[in-house]
Structure formats: structure tokens, C-alpha cells
Chains A and B, each alone.
Chain A
Amino acid sequence: MRFKSAHLLRAAAYAGLAFLHLPLLFIVVYAFNSDDGGYSFPLRGLTLRWFARAWEREDILQAISLSMGVAAMATLVAMVLGTMTAAALNRDRFFGKDGFTTLLILPIALPGIVTGLALLAAFKLMDVNPGFWTIAVGHATFCVVVVHNNVVARLRRLPARLVEASMDLGADTLTTLRYIILPQLGTALLAGGILAFALSVDELIVTTFTSGSEKTLPLWLLNQLSRPREVAVTNVVAMAVMLLTMPLILLAWRLTRDTDTSPGAQ
């Protein structure tokens, strides 16, 4: 009985995994579709033509460069603020600690429309024109928690006696920070930064409210769905977006795995 149900369970688990991946696989397949319009399946032929077309399109290159710029800026802010909050919240209890934690989670716990509309209302009130900086501010706000989570997890595992030993040997706080704490945080900080970058490149809902007429990569894709111009090129861009972020996610995962084996942890 138990033997049989285990097989059933394995089948269900692999079926679920296939369900999660097949649509992504088809995006890759469709990027090579030689048919320039329809979604008809099976494909009639394969071509690389659309890659060249995508590369020539000015609007696509602009969307890519805007997305990269915004993500870099948001990641930078998130890494600074996220490290600070992690260092603060890893310490002893203090008044308002729980409230502060909630504040960090709120931008991702509340639906994107709330965050988006709130930022838009504030920008309008201050007469700020939407554009690069308003997008970056929005993205940085919800990216902080990603960096924070990564760094705080590593700080919790950092053995207190490494710091104590450094102090005993005569190093001051800043020296300990530079030679003990920061090297230990390195990969966690990097992983947090990568995830924040990926999150920013993919974000759509908050961005629609804060972007004005600027188009990030996801906004460009959304626009293609209502007003398509060369459907086949859209498939290529969709695949490119996916293949761009996936190695980053894998790298972030590799960096945070096996962190228990950091020096002095035993």
C-alpha cells in the first residue's frame, strides 16, 4: 500500500514540475517560429530571423537600457539600506523592532497596485515628472527586503566568537568590520544584490504607475500584448528576458547554499 502510494506521489510531484516548466519551454520554441504572425501549433518551420530583427529595433534596445539602469540604481540603494537594516535588526531587542520589520515587508506584502498608486499619488502631489528616478525609487523600496533577508540570515550564523577574537587581538570596531564581518557577508550581499536586480528587471505592476511614458522591458512586453508590432519579435524578447534572469537566480542560489561551512562556524 505504502509502496504504491509513493509511486503515485512521485508521479504527481513530477507532473507538477512539468506544469511549471512547459510554458517556459514553449516560449523558447516560439522564438524560433518561422511563421511571422499566428500562434498555431505545431510550428511550420524554424528560423533565426527574428533575433536579427529584434536587435535592429530601437525601442527594444531603449527598453533594455532603461531596465538595466533602473535595476542597477535600485540594487545599489537596496544593498546599502538592506545591509544597514540587517545589521540593526540582528542586534538586541529595541523599541519598535517589530514595527520596523513590518515596514520592511509591507512593500511586498501589500499588492503592487497599492504601492504603485501610493507612489504615483505622492509624485503627483510633489509635481515630480515620472521617469527614470521615480521608477528607481519605487523599485529600491521593495528591493530592500530582499537584500535584508539574505544578509540577516548570514549575520545570524556568523559566530560571535570570531568578532570577540578579533577584538581580543586588539582590532577596533572598524577594523573588525572591514576584516571580519564584511568578508563573511560578501557572498550573502552579492546574492541579495543579484536577487534585487532580477526583481527590479521583472517588476511590472508598480512600474506601470511610476513610469510615465518611459518603457521598461516588462512594460514593453505588456504593450506588445495589446498593440503588437511584429509578434514574432515579441517571442524573441520574451525568451531573452527569461534567459537573462535565470543564470542570475541560479548564481544567487549557489552563493547562499552551503553557507554553514563558512570558516569558524563549527
Chain B
Amino acid sequence: MPETLAMPPLAATQGGLRRRLSNLLYQRRNLTLLLLLTPPLLWFGVVYVGSLLTLLVQSVFTFDDLAMSVTPELTSQNFQDLLVAANLDIVLRTLSMAMAVTLGTVVLGFPMAYYMAHYARGWEKGFFYVGVMLPMWASYIVKAYAWTVLLAQGGVVYWVLDHLGLRGVLQAVLNIPAIGGETLATSNLGRFLVFTYIWLPFMVLPIQAAIERVPGNLLLASADLGAKPWQTFRTVLWPLAFPGVVAGSIFTFSLTLGDYIIPQLVGPSGLYIGSMVYTLQGTIGNLPMAAAFTCVPIVLITLYLGVARRLGAFNAL
């Protein structure tokens, strides 16, 4: 320990008040706990929970379409409106993208995570870890912006596809109704690509942590006993890594469900839950309906977290 941190003269020789305070803090552990917890509890209780409650209360307020104003008359109209076909459509569109993105990140992320956990050694391990962590922390809007530049017609992606002679293949894929579109930048495929890119690190790291805990000799034993690589993967590795997959999916699922920037920048028109909330509160000022809409992701994620807890994902976080 450096010199500057050397102990002061024996504390017993110091002033009485300080000694008494110190003893009190040591003997009354509950008092210390209370002192430690009060400021954060106040912050979270007042600022955060208070805001959430305000939001929930707003969701049963009445919005007057003509006067464009909110009145505190209680109504269940907002929640009934959620069940209108157009709104259910928005929920389903967002939900299916969230599931597709989750699947996409697992398919891309699992091999990376497995390689990081079981093959990479020494410098390569650190290299991969930093390599996944840096894009994860890099600015979200910069990453989204990068893709609008890359996907633009005449941009990098089209240039590469042209030089590989794959333009025809892309056009064929873009002609498929549900995933295609006019161009890559206005298709669901493009939107899926950007979402998958941005949330991929959030999937890789939990899987890597889960696989890290799987003893390597389990896999060797499986191979020794005659299992084919695919069998080992299916019966040994995947079940043991699964909590990590679920942990990662909490992020990819929740983040896609609430996002409204990417749907606005890339892909076909058609609202997402996030963009609907943003539009309702912003241009129209219908805060009650926006509040009702935010209950959809809250409920979905609560359900999802409940399932995830049962699947043991919380131990893998």
C-alpha cells in the first residue's frame, strides 16, 4: 500500500464525538443500512416509481379529440382502443420483429460465443471480448446512422453486391412479400439486419458467460462416447448454454419492443409500438392513449421475465 495511505494515529486517541458516531454505526447495523438506503430509495421511489404511477394513472384519463386536451375523468376507453384491429396490427408487427431479431442474434451470436469461451486463448480471448464489447457500448444513434449510409442505393452494400454479382439474388429476395420491399433500406429485411446488428453483442456476452461455465471435458466425454458433433451440441452444449440464450434474449426482445428510432429510419412504413407512443404524445398530445400503449411492452416484458426466471436465466445474468 502506498505511503500516503498509512494509518493515522490510533483512532482511540481521537475526539469523542467521532468515536461515538463510529461505534453507533458499527453496533446498529440497521441504522447504517437505513442511512445508506434512504437517499437511493427516495430517488427511485419519488422520481422513478412516482413517474411510472403517473403514467399508469394517465392511461385511464380521458382525451378530448376536439379540444385536444386531457381531462382527469376515468375511462377504460384507451384500453378498449388498444384492441382495435389497427392497434393490434402494430403490436403484432413489433412482436414478430422482436422474435425474429432474437432468433437472428442467437444464430449469429452462438458460434461467436462458443468460440470465445472454448477456443480463444490468451490474447485472442481479450481481443474477442473487447471486440464485442466496444460495438455494444458505441453510440446507438451513430450505429443506426452508419446503416442508413451503408444501405442507401449507390452505397457500400449495393456496391459490394454488384461486384459479387449478387444484385439479382437480392432483387429476388426483396420480391418476397413479407420480408422484401422496394429497396434494401425500405424493406423489413433491411430493418431486421440493422436491429440484429445493433443488439448482437447483448446476445453474445451472456451466452459466452454461460458456455464458459460448461466444463470442456463434458464435451470431450460426449465425443469419446461416440456422439457426433451435432449430437453433442444438441444434447450437451445447448441445454447447458440455454440460460445464457434466454438472458441475452431479454435484452434483444425488450430493446426491439421499445425501439422507435430504427423503424423510423430503415424499413417500410407502418408503425411500431414505440413510434406509436412517440406520435401519440408528440404531435397529437394524446398522453392517455400513449400511456395505455406503453402498458403493452410492460405487460409483455413482465410475462417474458416470468418465463425467463423459470428457465433459470437470472442465474446467467
Closest B residue to A111 using CB positions: B258
Which residues of the other chain, B, contact A80 by a CB distance below 8 angstroms?
Answer: 39
Contacts of A179 in B (CB 8 A): 5, 7-8
User: Which residues of chain A from 211 to 232 have any CB-CB distance to chain B below 8 Å in the complex?
Assistant: 218, 221-222, 225
Q: Is the Cβ of A88 less than 8 Å from the Cβ of B51?
A: no
Q: B115 near A10 (CB under 8 angstroms)?
A: yes
Q: Which of B10, B12, B140, B223 has the most CB of A within 10 A?
A: B140
B225 within 8 A of partner (CB)? no
Q: Is the CB of A13 within 8 A of B274?
A: no
Q: What are 25 A-B contacts with C-beta separation under 8 Å?
A: A1-B229, A13-B114, A20-B132, A21-B135, A24-B142, A27-B145, A41-B159, A42-B159, A84-B37, A103-B49, A107-B48, A111-B258, A111-B274, A113-B277, A115-B51, A120-B287, A141-B48, A170-B10, A174-B25, A202-B139, A205-B259, A225-B148, A238-B145, A241-B139, A250-B130
Q: A173-B26, A174-B22 are in contact. Are A234 and B131 (CB under 8 A)?
A: no
A9 contacts B119, C-beta separation under 8 Å: yes
Q: List the 4 closest pairs (A to B, CB-CB), nearest first.
A: A111-B258, A172-B22, A13-B115, A118-B51
Contact, CB under 8 Å: A202 / B140: yes
B contacts, CB < 8 Å to A:
1, 5, 7-8, 10-12, 14, 18-19, 21-23, 25-26, 29, 33, 36-37, 39-41, 43-44, 47-52, 54-55, 58, 108-109, 111-112, 114-116, 119-120, 128, 130-135, 137-143, 145-150, 152, 154-156, 159, 197, 200-201, 204, 223, 229, 250, 254-255, 257-261, 265, 273-274, 277-278, 281, 287, 290-291, 294, 297-298, 301, 305
A170 closest partner in B (C-beta): B10
Given known A-B contacts A13-B112, A113-B260, A122-B51, A39 and B152 have beta carbons under 8 A apart: yes
Question: Are A23 and B281 in contact (CB-based, < 8 A)?
Answer: no
Known pairs A169-B7, A204-B140, A245-B138; list 12 more (Cβ under 8 Å). A13-B119, A16-B112, A20-B200, A23-B146, A26-B156, A27-B145, A39-B155, A106-B48, A112-B258, A124-B287, A175-B11, A175-B22
> Which residues of chain B come closer than 8 Å to A137, judged between CB atoms?
47
A113 near B145 with CB under 8 A, answer: no
Q: Which of B5, B58, B131 sits near A21, CB closer than 8 Å?
A: B131
Residues in A neighbouring B254, C-beta threshold 8 A = 109-111
- Choice from B10, B131, B260, B261 contacting A20 with Cβ under 8 Å: B131
Residue of B nearest to A117 (CB): B294
Known: A103-B48, A118-B51, A121-B287. A113 touches B274 (CB 8 A): yes
Contact between B140 and A113 (Cβ–Cβ < 8 Å)? no
B255: which A residues are within 8 A, CB to CB? 111
Which of A6, A91, A109, A119 sits near B119, CB closer than 8 Å? A6
CB of A30 within 8 Å of the partner chain: yes
Q: Which residues of A contact B138 (CB under 8 A)?
A: 24, 202, 242, 245-246
Q: A265 at the A/B interface (Cβ < 8 Å)?
A: no
- Rounded to whole Å, the gap between the CB of B25 and the closest CB of chain A is 5
Q: Which residues of A contact B (CB under 8 A)?
A: 1-2, 5-6, 9-10, 12-13, 16-17, 19-21, 23-24, 26-27, 30, 38-42, 77, 80-81, 84-85, 87-88, 91-92, 94, 100, 103-104, 106-107, 109-115, 117-122, 124-125, 137, 140-141, 144, 169-175, 179, 183, 195, 198, 201-202, 204-205, 208-209, 218, 221-222, 225, 234-235, 238, 241-242, 245-246, 249-250, 253, 263
A249 touches B26 (CB 8 A): no
Residue pair A87, B36 in contact (C-beta under 8 Å): yes
Q: Known A10-B115, A170-B10, A171-B11; judge A205-B23 contact (CB<8 A).
A: no
Choose from A30, A119, A241 the contact partner of B149 (Cβ within 8 Å). Answer: A30
- The answer for the CA separation of A174 and B54 in the assembled complex, in Å, is 40
| Chain B neighbourhood of A222, CB < 8 A | 141, 261
**Which of A5, A39, A169 has its CB near the most chain B CB atoms (within 10 A)?**
A39
Give the complex CA separation of A85 and B204 in angstroms. 28
Q: How far is the CA of A64 from the CA of B220 in the complex (A)?
A: 54
Are A173 and B22 in contact (CB-based, < 8 A)?
yes
